[in-house]
Amino acid sequence: MPFKQGIGNETAVIMNSSSVLEDVRLASGGQISVKRLGSQGWLRNRLVCEAALIWPAALSKLMTVMGFTWCSKVVLEVLILHLLFAVYSCRPREQFLEELHLISLNSRHTLAYFKFTIISLNKSENHFNFFPNALGRVLNAYNVTELHLSLTQGLWRSHIWPHYAPTEPTGAHLLATFQRDTAERTNTNWNRLVHSLSGLFCASFSQIDSTRTVTPKYLLFANGTQNIFSNYASMRYGMLPSENVCTENLTPWKKLLPCKLNRGLTALLNPRRLFNAHYVSLAVKVTKTCQENNGQCLSANWKLVQSVTAVLDSYKGDWSLQNYFFVPIQQPCNIAFKSAVIVQVKDLKSSSISTLSASRVKVNGCNMIGLDSGRDLFVNELSLKMDDVYPVTSCLSRLPVLLNTHVLGVGFHHLTLKHRISNEAPNEMIVLFRQTIPWIIRVYFHTLTLICAGEKKSFEILHYEPAKNRLKPHYFELLIRVPALSVCHLQINFDKSLLRWTEYPPDANRGFMLPAASLLYYTPDFKVDNDAVSKALNFSQKNFDTFKQPVQVYGESLLLNLPTPDFSMPYNVICLVCTVVALIFGPIHNVTTKRLVLKHRRELGSRVNLRRLFAYFKRNNVECVSKFPVQEEQTN
């Protein structure tokens, strides 16, 4: 056969005859590139596509060289049609992009923001190339259309650090949207989803039960109006503010990426470096759009964004990726469409920067350089002087509306939960306030008040769900208009409850974590963030989302001490009882087991008086000591 294609583990062979292959290359003006790219599922399609692209131009040359008859020409034309169809089917269905943003903060810290994006356009819901198969099958099995989860350690200091990347609350955070179905079916899918994600990410998502789950209801639009979710009944939201994050969560998170652990920018995710950070957050966001026909999904479009946000100490000395993350990039990620490293610098015309073949751009006064590494390893050679990276001009700004939460009062009764909402913008801001309070807190909702500049302000209660003991938490959504350049205080009174002794966790004396409240609003367009910088450097693809996304700001997660029984009392009682039993066991055992027999004094024999015995030994000892020197002199 003149054309032969064999796919082995990592190699492919096209054309038997080298002379024919050379003629094909000369006639087509191109070449067939066969690379050692690994045994990925897309390798077969790529080879077929490359062969199909050069085949039409080499048709006449092939006929001349091979001497085909008119019948063979017809067969060859049919083959060409099939190859052209293969070209159409080989359009890019999935793309993988990886980015690293390094931004200097005002507090002598550096923000390292890793962003890995997979865009998948598949006709089959269960067929994936780059998209992680384990995660995709879980989402399809439970009819999930949107998923957002995060594992966060530390607190984002929004009053000091500027806004550049999305922030997450402390602990574990999970939001899922399901296809429209009954409430019972949605709750079943939610329970199964949290257990599956718990095993997939080695986290404690399985602890998110009905007492930690709420149903968000309202959505805020860019013009400040609110509307109810069209599918709010199919959305579930849960939080575990006391969840810890460690290496056992990072490893399965990295395995979801197409290049796994040690290729591309993934190699820079060093656990020793990340978990010594002041703030670190692992996030996964999945969005699915489906073209339906009679209730069936004909074409599913997926977008997966995996991000790592870390606030690290600034490196002292000449700056490089290897020195900063303690590990080099040993191998590139060959399947990445783009591998970009974006660094904020002090001056774009510096001597160490001018020698780099990097893109340079100025976004709202911020000097940014971007290096598209592609499949090269030159990012390891990226070296900048300390003066070029730090200090830099504070071109990034904080968010205009911030949220802080604290508790007023002592004891267990008549306490106040107070939220401080500050607006630094020159205009009025409309925010959507959300708060989840566990049922163990007795909230007096009639005491909810909003005070701005010493005056009570009105607000709109969009949604409120009171708690049920041991069934569900408190949840309310408020629409608040915060005046320009002002500070508002939202407060509510509550009491602490006494739980059953079986309802306390093993570390009961540590206290209970109260989930963080959140603000949802839209920021002005002039703000600088990672998306704006990526677009300015031409490193981002077309927007998958068709509407503007709001900004979500979280407050602090509070630690509350509830009335706690003395769990050490059983241990103390056991120790006391065992000691008493050990002391009285011997005498009682002797009394109860031995038999008392009367005997005459003569049968007992002569008794020695202890007092006389001690006096005898004492008297003899004194006499020996007093006579010993005299005897020694006589002997001499």
Q: Is 567 a domain residue?
A: no
Looking at the fold, whether 394 and 541 belong to one and the same domain comes out as yes
Looking at the fold, whether 145 and 206 belong to one and the same domain comes out as yes
pLDDT at residue 11 in the model: 32
Q: Is 354 a domain residue?
A: yes
Domain end marker among 60, 89, 118: 89
CATH number of the CATH domain containing 473: 2.60.40.740
44 pLDDT above the threshold of 60: no
**CA gap 325, 275 in Å, rounded:** 12
User: Between residues 396 and 209, which one has the greater pLDDT?
Assistant: 209
How many domains, in total, are found in the chain?
A: 4
User: Between residues 530 and 401, which one has the greater pLDDT?
Assistant: 401
Residue 316 tokens read as 């002292």
Looking at the fold, whether 596 and 515 belong to one and the same domain comes out as no
Mind listing the pLDDT tens digit for each residue in 248-261? 999 999 999 998 88
Which of 27-41, 217-231, 266-280, 374-388 is the least confident region? 27-41
635 pLDDT above the threshold of 80: no
Domain end marker among 68, 89, 110: 89
Looking at the fold, whether 604 and 550 belong to one and the same domain comes out as no
348 pLDDT above the threshold of 80: no
Domain end marker among 29, 59, 89: 89
Looking at the fold, whether 158 and 282 belong to one and the same domain comes out as yes
Looking at the fold, whether 194 and 270 belong to one and the same domain comes out as yes
Looking at the fold, whether 595 and 520 belong to one and the same domain comes out as no
Q: Is 577 a domain residue?
A: no
**CA gap 344, 113 in Å, rounded:** 12
Q: How many CB atoms lie within 10 A of CB 255?
A: 13
pLDDT at residue 37 in the model: 32
Element of type H or E holding 293: strand 279-293
Looking at the fold, whether 282 and 385 belong to one and the same domain comes out as yes
Compute the CA torsion angle 258, 259, 265, 266 (nearest 10 deg). 90
Looking at the fold, whether 418 and 518 belong to one and the same domain comes out as yes
Domain span including residue 54: 5-89
Q: Is 575 a domain residue?
A: no
Q: Is 140 a domain residue?
A: yes
Looking at the fold, whether 363 and 421 belong to one and the same domain comes out as no
Residue 101: exposure state from Cβ atoms within 10 A (0-12, 13-18, ≥19): buried
Q: How many CB atoms lie within 10 A of CB 63?
A: 14
Q: Is 569 a domain residue?
A: no
Q: Is 84 a domain residue?
A: yes
| pLDDT tier at 306, thresholds 50, 70, 90 | very high
Mind listing the pLDDT tens digit for each residue in 167-209? 999 999 999 999 888 889 999 999 999 999 999 999 999 999 9
Q: Are 370 and 341 in contact (CB under 8 A)?
A: yes
pLDDT at residue 84 in the model: 57
Q: Is 573 a domain residue?
A: no
Over pLDDT 90: what percentage of the chain? 35
Looking at the fold, whether 520 and 587 belong to one and the same domain comes out as no
Looking at the fold, whether 389 and 461 belong to one and the same domain comes out as no
| Average pLDDT for the chain | 77
Mind listing the pLDDT tens digit for each residue in 406-450? 999 988 889 999 999 999 999 999 999 999 999 999 999 999 999
